[in-house]
Amino acid sequence: MLSKNRIKQITSLQQKKIRNESRTFVAEGHKVVMELLRSPMTVREIVATDDWIALHAASFHGVKITAADDAEIKKISAMQTACNVVAEVEMKPQKPFALDASTLYLALDSVRDPGNFGTIIRIANWFGISTILASDDCVDLYNPKVIQASMGSAFRVDVHYCNLPQTLAAAQKIGLPVYGTFLDGENIYTSSLSKNGVVVLGNEGHGILPETAAQITRRILIPCGASAADAPESLNVATATAVVCSEFYRQCIKKWNH
């Protein structure tokens, strides 16, 4: 059973300010929690239904666990459809960050939607991109919906918040090409993409912001297959990320093999 106070404490972690003070966040749902237990993250406490505990007890390695009923879990959940397990987790320790001239990075410019942000983290993870540069006004990595949409990838990919235009300028200085998707860019499928660089994806409504765009050295384009009359205005930012990462990966495998 959870005390009223503890319920209040856990729900307060839906606020970024409180998360930053306590250096903890909440992860929810069976899949995400199982990923968590497999990861090097430090889990402070698991709150779960008796059924979940009975089925998954074998997965805990000395983690504090508290049984709660559906109504209690509903109270502490940030999701519309509450699940049967919620964990309080310590944030990753902040590592000193330095750009590396041989790495491929993703960079997100003012990506605000937590579902998009989490999905992009999962895409980066799939394609072996281990660091994402995020402009300071992107949604918070530890937002419950980001954690949910990343399906565990938030525990494996490093997200480095920064002044993005400045970081891109620094990337250029060490020889990293800085890619960005634009309507007047080069066709991504016929461009020769590099194994290193920074690939910038823009805000949901406004695309790449002017100050960031000024730092782009290679403008690329995902061509549209629909006729002008039938074409959508744009792709969703997570979809564009998937296409771009896929194409970088495809070309780089080829480069590694030849």
Q: Please tell me the distance from the alpha carbon of residue 193 to that of residue 216, in angstroms, as a whole number.
A: 14
- Applying CB under 8 A, which of residues 12, 66, 112, 115 lies at the interface with its own copies? 115
Give the nearer residue to its own copies in terms of CB position, either 94 or 130: 130
What counts of helices (H) and strands (E) characterise the chain? 10, 10
Q: Is 231 a binder of its own copies (CB under 8 A)?
A: yes
CA 190 to chain centre: 28
Per CB under 8 A, 185 contacts its own copies: no
Binding-residue pattern over the window 116 to 155 for its own copies, x denoting contact by CB under 8 A: ---x--xx-xxxxxx--------------------xxx--
Structure tokens belonging to residue 52? 């979940």
Beta-bridge partner residues of 134: 108, 161
Cα–Cα distance measured from residue 46 to residue 85, given in angstroms and rounded to the nearest whole number: 7
CB 89 within 8 A of CB 42: yes
Contact between 230 and its own copies by CB under 8 A: the answer reads yes
With binding defined as CB under 8 A, does residue 57 bind its own copies?
A: no
Distance CA 5, CA 78 (A): 17
Nearer to its own copies by C-beta: 47 or 240?
Answer: 240
Residues that bind its own copies (CB under 8 A): 31, 115, 119, 122-123, 125-130, 151-153, 156, 189, 222-227, 230-233, 235-236, 238-239, 242-243, 246-247, 249-250, 253-254
